[in-house]
């Protein structure tokens, strides 16, 4: 009888231990692990009449969401987008930004070989045009520096001018003698108060600046 009671007590203790191990195994199976973003647990419980086995291995959902957010596509910008990139640049953007904004507005496109070739030709044309403008500015600079321009104004006996000389007056005299029309806004006019010869500056190109003499004489 004592033996039977002891065996019953052992059986109850075994059931309690198996229950604890089973709970622990289920807990570990659903807690994120540390190996490569996967959950892994394995438990094998054996008792007098019980066998239970748990095995689980799945990607962590949070990591998958982060990777999904990091997905990007390469887009070739057809024009400048402030804060994103300049025309002709290939940038990486989120697919939604490309589908919903860049593509519908014609601002960006997938960088195909044909479009890249067209863009290269356009860039070569732009460079050629800029070179032609600079060459023309250099030619005009050389012509202005070897010529002498005269503007006639009313003046007092002591040479003080009655009126003032404007940038437009310089534009008119240069066009009359050379046929070239300057932009009044590009002319750097010194303070002209008396009859004299002055050096007038002009910006002919972002990289070309000229300076030429203008004689202010009595007339009119």
How are the residues of the chain apportioned to helix, strand and coil, as percentages rounded to the nearest 5?
45, 25, 30
Q: Which pLDDT score, from 0 to 100, does residue 73 have?
A: 83
214 beta partners: 149, 198
Q: Which pLDDT score, from 0 to 100, does residue 77 have?
A: 85
pLDDT band at 108; cut points 50, 70, 90: confident
For residue 26, give the H/E element and its range: helix 2-29
DSSP single-letter state for residue 107: S
Rounded-to-integer distance, Cα 6 and Cα 67, Å: 58
Pick the most confident of 7-16, 75-84, 119-128: 119-128
Read off the tokens for 8. Answer: 């019953």
Q: Is the pLDDT of residue 55 over 70?
A: no
Q: Which residues contact 202 (CB under 8 A, 6 or more apart)?
A: 144, 182, 186, 187, 188, 209, 210, 211, 212
Q: Is the pLDDT of residue 137 over 50?
A: yes
Q: Where do the DSSP E strands lie in the chain?
A: 41-46, 51-56, 73-77, 90-93, 108-109, 149-153, 187-188, 196-205, 208-218
Read off the tokens for 165. Answer: 């000389």
Mean pLDDT of 144-172: 93
Q: Which pLDDT score, from 0 to 100, does residue 112 have?
A: 79
Mean pLDDT of 194-210: 95
pLDDT band at 88; cut points 50, 70, 90: confident
Round the CA-based radius of gyration of the chain to a whole number and report it.
43
Mean pLDDT of 96-113: 84
Mean pLDDT of 163-184: 93
Rounded-to-integer distance, Cα 89 and Cα 119, Å: 10
109 beta partners: 76
Q: How far is CA 108 from CA 49, 71, 145, 154, 203, in A?
A: 69, 18, 47, 61, 36
pLDDT band at 218; cut points 50, 70, 90: very high
């Amino acid at each position: 009888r004592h033996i039977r009671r002891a065996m019953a007590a052992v059986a109850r203790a075994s059931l309690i231990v198996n229950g604890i191990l089973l709970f622990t195994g289920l807990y570990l199976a659903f807690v994120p692990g540390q190996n490569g973003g996967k959950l892994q647990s394995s438990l094998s419980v054996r008792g007098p009449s019980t066998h239970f086995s748990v095995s689980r291995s799945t990607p962590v959902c949070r990591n998958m969401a982060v990777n999904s957010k990091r997905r990007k596509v390469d887009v070739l910008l057809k024009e400048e987008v402030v804060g994103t990139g300049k025309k002709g640049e290939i940038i990486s953007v989120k697919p939604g930004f490309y589908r919903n904004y860049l593509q519908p507005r014609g601002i960006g496109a997938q960088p195909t070989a044909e479009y890249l070739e067209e863009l290269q030709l356009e860039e070569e044309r732009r460079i050629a045009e800029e070179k032609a403008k600079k060459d023309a500015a250099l030619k005009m600079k050389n012509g202005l520096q070897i010529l002498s321009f005269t503007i006639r104004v009313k003046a007092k006996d002591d040479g003080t001018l009655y009126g003032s000389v404007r940038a437009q007056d310089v534009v008119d005299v240069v066009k009359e003698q050379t046929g070239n029309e300057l932009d009044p806004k590009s002319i750097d006019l010194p303070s002209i108060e008396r009859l004299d010869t002055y050096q007038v500056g002009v910006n002919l190109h972002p990289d070309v600046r000229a300076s030429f003499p203008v004689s202010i004489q009595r007339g009119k």
